[in-house]
Amino acid sequence: MKRSITRLLMAPSVIMLLVWMIIPLSMTIYFSTIRYNLLYPGQNNFVGWMNFEFFITDPGFIPAVSNTLILLLSVLIITVVLGVMLSALIDKPFFGQGIVRVLLISPFFIMPTVNALIWKNMMMNPVYGIFAWISQSLGLEPIDWLSSYPLMSVIIMVSWQWLPFAILVFVTALQSQDTEQKEAAQMDGATGWHIFRYLTIPHLARPIAVVIMIETIFLLAVFAEIFVSTGGGPGYDSTNLAYLIYNQALLQYDVGVASAGGLFAVILANIVAFFLIRAVGKNLTV
């Protein structure tokens, strides 16, 4: 009786969640199988796999997939490695610890569009940016980062914004670490590196897997930084899958091909997340 009442009370939430997920996914699948170009209204005939073929054979497809994976792996490595190191440093009590933690975490609360504008205009501008000023102070020629190194520029922007998220998760996890175990290891002559390698890293195994899983979901859909700073260029040098789908939908008005690209991105995200989580979990729990 109690189980039936519980299921009855949960039913509206479960139904709402299913509707929330199934309707957009069903519409995307439907649009991916018909010819739906906004420039040719009324010509919505069934085309089967043709939209997927158009998307895969697009000149920007291979660069977009490559840039998406490079961006994902680069940001994951930067945020996880620096996040673990900085978290271990600020976990120890020192003067001004609270202020340092707030400063480290604050970039995560900046909107992606604002993040891109800050780096584009204040940091990487070849005329009045801070990097240009540093180069000129050292007698070097300023670098036009967004034109010469567009993908690296996007990686720096995204890493700067997601590093605080990793730090926040790792610092929270370190606060639950057993201090008696660390003290016992110190009494046995373990160095700081040994404690970090054999106690801290295994303790952070699950938080690292969580950070990788969450960041993977969002990093595969990075768009604002590319749209505001590089526009996907020069050429396809900084185009990722999200920007290529936007290009198909809102610049070429081909909703069918864009929907096929969206389904491809969903499949790629699940494959990448599955293998990353398995690899990280296996290596850290041994």
Q: Report which of residues 89 and 284 the model is more confident about.
A: 89
For 256-273, the pLDDT digits (tens) are: 888 888 888 888 888 877
Check residue 192 and give its pLDDT.
Answer: 79
What was the pLDDT predicted at 226?
92
Q: Between residues 45 and 154, which one has the greater pLDDT? A: 154
Confidence bin at 281 (pLDDT 50/70/90): low
pLDDT above 90 for 87: no
Confidence (pLDDT) at 1? 64
- Comparing 80 with 98, the larger pLDDT belongs to 80
Band (pLDDT 50/70/90 cuts) for residue 283 is low
- Ordered structural domains, the chain, with CATH: 52-282 (1.10.3720.10)
Residue 77 has pLDDT above 90, yes or no: yes
pLDDT reported for residue 185: 80
d(CA 100, CA 247): 41
Q: What percent of the chain has pLDDT over 90?
A: 17
Q: What is the mean pLDDT of residues 177-191?
A: 79
Please write the tens of the pLDDT for every residue from 195-254. 888 888 888 888 888 888 888 888 888 999 999 998 887 888 999 988 998 888 888 888
Question: CA 160 to CA 183: how far, in whole Å?
Answer: 34
Cβ distance 213 to 230 under 8 Å? no
The band of 19, judged by pLDDT with boundaries at 50, 70 and 90, is confident
42 Rama sector, left if φ>0, alpha if ψ -120 to 50, beta otherwise:
left
Task: Say what the pLDDT of residue 110 is.
Answer: 85
Under a CB-based contact definition with an 8 Å cutoff, are residues 211 and 169 in contact?
Answer: yes
Percent of the chain with pLDDT over 70: 96
- Look at residue 285 and tell me whether its pLDDT is greater than 80: no
Considering 17-26, 37-46, 153-162, the range whose residues carry the highest mean pLDDT is 153-162
pLDDT tens sequence across 100-156: 877 877 888 888 899 899 999 898 988 888 999 999 998 888 888 898 999 999 999
Across the chain, what does the average pLDDT equal?
A: 85
Q: Higher confidence at residue 189 or residue 122?
A: 122
Number of H helices, E strands in the chain: 15, 0
Instruction: Measure CA of the first residue to CA of the last residue in the chain; give whole Å.
Output: 45
Q: Are 204 and 174 in contact (CB under 8 A)?
A: yes
Question: Which range is least confidently modeled, 30-39, 87-96, 238-247?
Answer: 87-96
Q: DSSP for 155-217?
A: HHHHHHHHHHHHHHHHHHHHTTS-HHHHHHHHHTT--HHHHIIIIIHHHTHHHHHHHHHHHHH
